[in-house]
Structure 1
């Protein structure tokens, strides 16, 4: 199995996308980290220096009972998007602290389709009174650049069948954003996301298990005075290889550990929680990690949403070394 060619499987992002269901949600219902992105061999940093590439077509469809879009409380929200994610990792020959040092950049292009059943604009008068109006059956679509994630520092180690790494990811708001549109391809704020990932792989039996934990600090969306609270993402995979074919399960969870804040947080602190689970299939063209092309197909069904969107995701990816 070309485990070394899969470094990008643990190295990426999110653009302005969310994860949905019939629940309530904070601003955009969105997470800076693309939920479920880390899968097979996410704890592995290749020992062979060079450029490693992974491309994903990530499609999501879901809904929420209520969320905040551009300072407005909106009810009955449906959202569909497809994100094209291009993750490029450079593994350096440097070995600080006995580990392998790498850097990563992940730009995105996002197609977004948002539909709202009912919008309730709210504002506060000079005496502190709250006023509101209504808009019904609004919709918007957009195709544009999404936000970009980059990792200025990734450091990985190996010991027998165990592999692990630490990384700092940063989300930069490079996508399209305007308070005059619903289908934004940017979150319009910076996020800082340290992550730990580990992989166990036994080449004799073909069993692989990966787990990752990521913590997110979000800055304020200055256009809406909304600050999303801190998030913890955990995700992983278990697969069994049968020659070039791998089959298994993938899962993730996202738990918000501090409340939303700012003048734009009109739904209150709304600490979110969501989980996803589904199957994964992989195919690798070569046992030589420097020559292999790996295909990854996975599906997630979300459940137990609390103050979050809920829906389903299909992700198709390829990865290889230049």
Structure 2
């Protein structure tokens, strides 16, 4: 059997899609990547990758994602967090997140719908070389917090036409996670947000070639604890990969994050504070059997560059998509 025939007979991307097309765990509110107030956006850059727009398979799926981020900024860059201004910031975070997802059998406007709710638990440690507060100046300030994240509902609708797949989504932030405006380290953003956008996936099952891209916009409500309102953010997540066999996939992934409008509110003492960042890195995926169904695991790393008004570093994603059945 030729490799192309094996791919066509054995590789079933639709079996994975219930996890992958809704893999966005909406954990941007975890305070890991820095932009906007305190350098923290809602959108979790890099959450979408390969097969992002492939329609989901009807039934229940459980995406589980481990995540680690580490980044820093020089002492010449200042960040606002509550009533403090900090410089020389370094932030690290390990997290575990889940998003139970359901895809109904009934089609909607000819597309496959999927509904999910993301949440997680983790730790954030943030250190500042200098932190200026109303009470004075503190050197070497360090905060660590452990707890739950905000809640992230997400809904998507996807269509397939041969090798072409399209998807639209809407998600948001319900701010119930671990947050205190007096801390440097948080696992929530302290305000509500809504994000919507669309994506495209090219997938040729015979050749195993794949390309995906997801573009979206974030609208933020004001943080009432700090009287600070983040501007409108734009983001692009992308990935290109090749299935080497019915099981193994390799490729590259990346993201671009760019703030379109400046921050506002009486608490925005640093002004518009518009931010940006880009990243790129390797991706490896593996398809395997679990309970008679097809499961998928994916590991990818991102190395950031082009940062402004946020820390710059690296991130690692480790994802397991578990099919739960009808």
Please report the TM-score for the alignment, with normalisation by the length of structure 1: 0.91
Structure 1 position 289, deviation (Å)? 12
Q: Which of 143, 165, 188 is the matching residue for 1:163? A: 165
CA-to-aligned-CA distance 1:75-120 (integer Å, 9 cap, x gap): 1111000121112210011212111122111112121111111012
Gaps of 5+ in 2: 1-10
Partner of 1:139: 142
2:109 match: secondary structure: helix
Structure 1 position 17, deviation (Å)? 2.2
Q: Say if 2:156 and 2:168, in contact at 8 Å, map to a contact too.
A: yes
1:28 match: secondary structure: helix
Structure 1 position 266 matched with structure 2 position 269:
yes
Structure 1 position 53, deviation (Å)? 1.6
1:228 match: secondary structure: coil
CA-to-aligned-CA distance 1:258-279 (integer Å, 9 cap, x gap): 0001111111101111001000
Closer, same or farther in 2 for the Cα pair 1:289/1:306, shift >3 Å? farther
Q: For 1:201 and 1:276, how far apart are their aligned partners in 2? A: 23
Q: Which of 41, 60, 68 is the matching residue for 2:69? A: 60
Partner of 1:150: 153
Partner of 1:128: none
Structure 1 position 167, deviation (Å)? 1.1
Q: Which of 95, 107, 112 is the matching residue for 2:124? A: 112
Partner of 2:318: 316
Structure 1 position 28, deviation (Å)? 2.4
Structure 1 position 32 matched with structure 2 position 47:
no
Partner of 2:8: none
Structure 1 position 44 matched with structure 2 position 54:
yes
Q: Say if 2:69 and 2:314, in contact at 8 Å, map to a contact too.
A: yes
Q: Say if 1:279 and 1:298, in contact at 8 Å, map to a contact too.
A: yes
Structure 1 segments, 4+ long, off by >6 Å, are none
Q: Say if 2:36 and 2:231, in contact at 8 Å, map to a contact too.
A: no
Q: Say if 1:227 and 1:261, in contact at 8 Å, map to a contact too.
A: yes
The within-5 A match list for 1:207-286 is 207-243=209-245, 244-286=247-289
2:293 match: secondary structure: coil
Please report the TM-score for the alignment, with normalisation by the length of structure 2: 0.89
Partner of 2:207: 205
Q: Say if 1:75 and 1:119, in contact at 8 Å, map to a contact too.
A: yes
Structure 1 position 2, deviation (Å)? 4.1
The two structures, once aligned, show a CA RMSD in angstroms of: 1.8
Q: Say if 2:98 and 2:118, in contact at 8 Å, map to a contact too.
A: yes
Structure 1 position 78 matched with structure 2 position 80:
no
Q: Which of 87, 104, 118 is the matching residue for 2:99? A: 87
Q: For 1:289 and 1:235, how far apart are their aligned partners in 2? A: 31
Q: For 1:260 and 1:52, how far apart are their aligned partners in 2? A: 37
